Amino acid sequence: MIATYADFTKESQKVMADPGHRARINAYTEEYQQSFDKASSHFSNLELARRRAAHLRWKTINHLDKYLIEFESKVIRSGGKVIWAQDNAEAVEAINAILKKQGQSKFVSKSNSVSRDLANSAQWQKEQVEVMEVDYGNFILHADNDQASHSVLPALHKSKEEIATAFSRHFDVKDKTPEGLAKLINSEMRHSLLNAQVAVTGAQFIVADEGASVLCDDEGASLFIAAQPRTGIIIAGIDSMLTSLHDLDLLLTLYGTYSTGQTLRTYNTIVKGPKQPGELSGPEELYIILLDNGKTEVLAQEEQRQVLSCINCGACLPASSIYKTVGGKAYPGPAQSVAAPVSFGTSEYKYLAELATLDGSGSEACPVKINFPKLVLHNRKQFVQEGLNSNNEKLFYYAWKKSMLKRDIISWTGINARNKVIDAYYKSKEGLRQMPSAAPKSFNQQWREKMGYR
């Protein structure tokens, strides 16, 4: 769930005043960089691999309509069923209908960034359906009723003490060390997996030419899910499409490298239809839910469409100064700065595009070379064309432009006036650093004095 502007400001003020939070994000960023450097050294030419991946994804996204139809027909041919869901609510409804048909009131969920919101839907409580999470990070979030901080490693913002406290509310926690907590998660997840009749999992990619779904993780739960439960439900974003299994060669390697700094994620499972006669494992019934969630709106925008090339690796997060400061619970990352205002409503989410720093760090970190500064500027241009900018903002930029174009105006305002503007604009909040005051004499003044100019 993407935070509204009000929730974003509330959460970021809280997090910015928490040095522990920032220390955890920084520690992760350093660790990630080291693993990434090691894993990326396996590419003989990383830049060429990125260019190829960008081209593959762009080509696929531009013909998505054709590939979706091909994918659907291949899934049906191998005995699976395809459900099209416009948004999360429709996907939840579809899963609920399958559960009712099977006479089940619980399911295991191996959530990823696509399916996480579905597994956390308030609807399950109303329907009295039990959701048993079998993804490490999401298991922790589920226990603490919290939100993800990173698309691939959702609970990286949690300290071991916070995890132990959250678990104590649900389980008898005897060992509060990281090893003890991991053991507890393993045992709970194993119990859920062994008894699962229905499993819901998020696909990393879907493949048109084979009607296949690709599941990736490091714990092996997705492999188990693909083999054991009677009914399998796979949630796939329509934009996770690849044209052919051959594309996996490049994209799985890039995904492993950029998501967790591994040469490949530990378990990569390809699911192609339900169990066939003579096969020993696999679901008897397989449903693929193709989730739109506003992607069609993005696809309709010729410029912003490029953001659909995203492979949800999360690499742009640690590269972003906003993420490093406020974390990912409030800030969903550069890709959503482009997509969310188009997908979910400009007035509610335009703040994400306005927030973007345009420094290009996200693009440099992105394996599919999404040009964030260009796309964000397109968003901003659209906001202006639609007349969504307030009069105060227009006035501010009018004054800003005037003074930036005329040095005399800046000099005339004097240091005190500028300090007042800075103070008013960057109001200090409790627990946050104060804005430093400007020097008593501007550089311009000092230079003039030094050079003897009038």
Q: 3-state SS string over 10-67?
A: HHHHHHHCCHHHHHHHHHHHHHHHHHHHHHHCCCCCHHHHHHHHHHHHHHHHHCHHHH
Count of residues touching ligand SF4 (by CB under 6 A): 14
Using CA atoms, how far apart are residues 185 and 181, in angstroms rounded to an integer? 6
Stretch that binds ligand SF4, among 139-147, 154-162, 310-318, 417-425 (CB under 6 A): 310-318
The answer to whether 368 contacts ligand SF4 (rule: CB under 6 A) is: yes
CA distances for 166 relative to 45, 137, 173, angstroms: 45, 13, 10
Of the residues 214, 339, 365, 376, which one makes contact with ligand SF4 according to CB under 6 A:
365
The answer to whether 335 contacts ligand SF4 (rule: CB under 6 A) is: yes
CA atoms 145, 150, 156, 158: torsion sign: negative
Q: Diameter of the chain by CA atoms?
A: 93
Give least dist CB 198 to ligand SF4, A.
29
Q: Which of 291, 289, 287, 307 is CA-nearest to residue 299?
A: 307
The answer to whether 314 contacts ligand SF4 (rule: CB under 6 A) is: yes
Of the residues 193, 340, 370, 375, which one makes contact with ligand SF4 according to CB under 6 A:
370
Of the residues 137, 229, 318, 367, which one makes contact with ligand SF4 according to CB under 6 A:
367
What is residue 181's DSSP assignment?
Answer: H
Give least dist CB 115 to ligand SF4, A.
16
50 vs 272 by CB, closer to ligand SF4: 50
Using CA atoms, how far apart are residues 317 and 252, in angstroms rounded to an integer? 19
The answer to whether 366 contacts ligand SF4 (rule: CB under 6 A) is: yes
Do the Cβ atoms of 197 and 102 come closer than 8 Å?
Answer: yes
In the region spanning residues 315 to 334, those forming contacts with ligand SF4, defined by CB under 6 A, are 315-316
Do the Cβ atoms of 353 and 373 come closer than 8 Å?
Answer: no
217 vs 285 by CB, closer to ligand SF4: 217
The token pair that represents 277 in the structure block: 């006669």
Stretch that binds ligand SF4, among 38-46, 200-208, 359-367, 397-405 (CB under 6 A): 359-367
90 vs 218 by CB, closer to ligand SF4: 218
The answer to whether 312 contacts ligand SF4 (rule: CB under 6 A) is: yes
Give least dist CB 55 to ligand SF4, A.
14
Residues at the site binding ligand SF4, with contacts judged by CB under 6 A: 258, 310-316, 335, 365-368, 370
